[in-house]
Structure 1
Amino acid sequence: MKSLSNPSDFPEPILIAVNGVELEVFEAGRRNGGKPVLLCHGWPDLAFTWRHQVPALVAAGYHVIAPNQRGYGNSSRPAEVAAYDVARLAGDLVALLDHYGYEDATFVGHDWGAMVVWSLTLLHPARVNKVICLSMPYPVRGETPWIEFMEAVLGSEYYFVHFNRQPGVADAVFEENPAQFLRNLYRRNEPRKEPQPGMVMIDLARAETPVGGPLMSDSDLAVYVAAFEKSGFTGGINWYRNLDRDWHLLADVDPIIHQPALMIYGDRDTVAPAENLAAFAPDVEEIHLDSGHWIHQEKPEETNRAILQWLAR
């Protein structure tokens, strides 16, 4: 499979001190100052996930800023779990805007990055002018903290719950063989299968034979393997370990997204579409692509077209 990009073509990183940490930031299109777009990756991912979007956004006149968020790559990895709550993750992005001298920006998030973008928009609405999220729709804040709710409905082995109730166990399994875990995780055209007992991510990390086809070229996957061999997985998993704390942090904010929003779903994604997104994001457009979870990597041209056409409107 030919990659659309050579890893060496991705922007060179710089380390920027923000909000008490250092972030490894990949920037392109500074000449397009005044039209900032911040790209926010998910788990277990990197800013490199946006390698197909960066050149398209720059060519369309945007100043693209893509950090490895705290816990990832060469960005800071604080030891305390509470250092990864959504208020701090959002604060990193606000401080990044301040560093570049921007009042506001368009924020794009995939997976956990989408959770951060939705939450950032609630916590700092003046700093966000447009919202684009992939895979993960707006996280409705019900009456029960999120991990408690998931444990009651999905059980103790559901990976969100397992990460919280058995800290360190999954981290160690992933770190035994990062290359195998990442190879098995980043797939396309995976056959649908019935839910199995056990902890799905640990089972995936230990599977000797992957299913479906590879999502990335060998050279692209090598970027991920090198990064996680160095960083480990605990920083990123600590985002999950703050979900109940995040639920409390968002208790007193206006729950409505007032900015224009674009939501992109993969029709073969295991993350279910929102049933009532417009109730929380009244100015939202929802788009479906024939894709699995890694939408912007699996369908880069379609994703770029959807984003750029929506931004142009």
Structure 2
Amino acid sequence: MTEHLSIATPAGSFDAIAAGPADGRPVLLLHGFPEAAIAWDYTVAVLGDRGFRAVAPDQRGYSPGVRPENAAEYGISELVGDVVAIADELGWSKFDLVGHDWGGVVAWWTANEHPARLRTLSVVSTPHPGALGEALHADEDQQLRSQYLQAWRAHGTERQMLAENGAALRRMFDRHVGPSRVDEYIQRLSEPGALTAALNWYRASRPAGQIGKIEVPTLYVWSTEDVAFGSTAATGTERWVTGAYSFQMLEDVSHWVPEEVPEVLTGMLLEHLSGR
């Protein structure tokens, strides 16, 4: 049964959903834009039933208790710091980390900076930042896919996304996520400052230094109908992992993997976790 938590950290209190015994093997799951922890509700419940202690927080900006106004406070160091702070507050010296979309970016960087804290890494949709950087430099397809990033950094994006009852956000999900869930996301993002905080993930400056290769045992799941990430970066991710690596490709599945095919994804995660 899923429960709701408030996790106090130096940055503020994160809202979270959780399931499983308190002494179960800990798994932290990170959501992406423009979602929330509930994107992982199916996976959290199944992991809890299997004896894991699964926790999915509403990340920085999505939790009202951690919603700074300045875009500079959404840099990678702050986002990775949140992961470590949450794990520390939960009493987890070592844990499994799962991330989708922006949560995947944070997961890659956490594995790079704190490999000793992770038992395994699982990333959905988002290629390794190094592989994505290579694709952005050389692959025209990925360059076209990433053009939206500049528009989302612009002022006034909030108004455009929320106009006409969030029509732009609804088009983004393109019927791959249930309408009631999309309604909930739009309601949350309509709270004062919420969408600005979520977009600040895009507006914050990013590290100038290059991320290294990942030594943590890694599962990477990519779907062929992902509009944001093409095959060049997806297949190139293998070169950026030196630890045990598994690449799973989902045919005819969109970017919204955790909610479109939760049973399939959760099965992959369970197999990955059970092997470590």
Question: Please, what TM-score do these two structures have when normalized by structure 1?
Answer: 0.77
Residues 234 and 226 (structure 1), Cα distance of their counterparts in 2 relative to 1, 3 Å cut: same
Q: Displacement, 1:177?
A: 3.8
SS of residue in 2 equivalent to 1:103: coil
Contact 1:89 1:116 in 2 (8 A): yes
Q: Distance in 2 between matches of 1:75 and 1:289?
A: 36
Residues 24 and 143 (structure 1), Cα distance of their counterparts in 2 relative to 1, 3 Å cut: closer
Q: Tell me how many residue pairs correspond in the alignment.
A: 266
- Of stretches 264-273 and 99-108 in structure 1, the one that deviates more from structure 2 is 264-273
Q: Distance in 2 between matches of 1:142 and 1:292?
A: 18
SS of residue in 2 equivalent to 1:257: coil
Hey, what does 1:131 align to over in structure 2? 121
Q: More helix by proportion, 1 or 2?
A: 2
User: 2:6 pairs with 12, 15, 25, which one?
Assistant: 15
Q: Distance in 2 between matches of 1:154 and 1:277?
A: 17
**Identity of paired residues, percent?**
27
Mapping for residues 216-231 of structure 1, pairs under 5 Å: 216-230=177-191, 231=193
Hey, what does 2:97 align to over in structure 1? 107
Q: Does 1:268 align with 2:225?
A: yes
User: 1:247 pairs with 204, 207, 215, which one?
Assistant: 207
Q: Distance in 2 between matches of 1:226 and 1:67?
A: 18
Hey, what does 2:248 align to over in structure 1? 287
Hey, what does 1:118 align to over in structure 2? 108
Superposed CA RMSD: 2.6
Question: Please, what TM-score do these two structures have when normalized by structure 2?
Answer: 0.87
Hey, what does 1:76 align to over in structure 2? 66
Structure 2 counterpart of 1:82, one-letter code: A
User: 1:176 pairs with 131, 149, 163, which one?
Assistant: 163
Mapping for residues 161-240 of structure 1, pairs under 5 Å: 161-164=150-153, 166=154, 168-187=155-174, 214-230=175-191, 231-240=193-202
Deviations 1:193-228 (A, max 9, x none): xxxxxxxxxxxxxxxxxxxxx233343233212211
Unaligned 5+ residue runs, structure 1? Answer: 1-8, 188-213
Q: Displacement, 1:143?
A: 8.5
Q: Displacement, 1:154?
A: 4.3
Residues 32 and 17 (structure 1), Cα distance of their counterparts in 2 relative to 1, 3 Å cut: closer
Contact 1:19 1:91 in 2 (8 A): no
Contact 1:32 1:61 in 2 (8 A): no
Structure 1 counterpart of 2:213, one-letter code: I
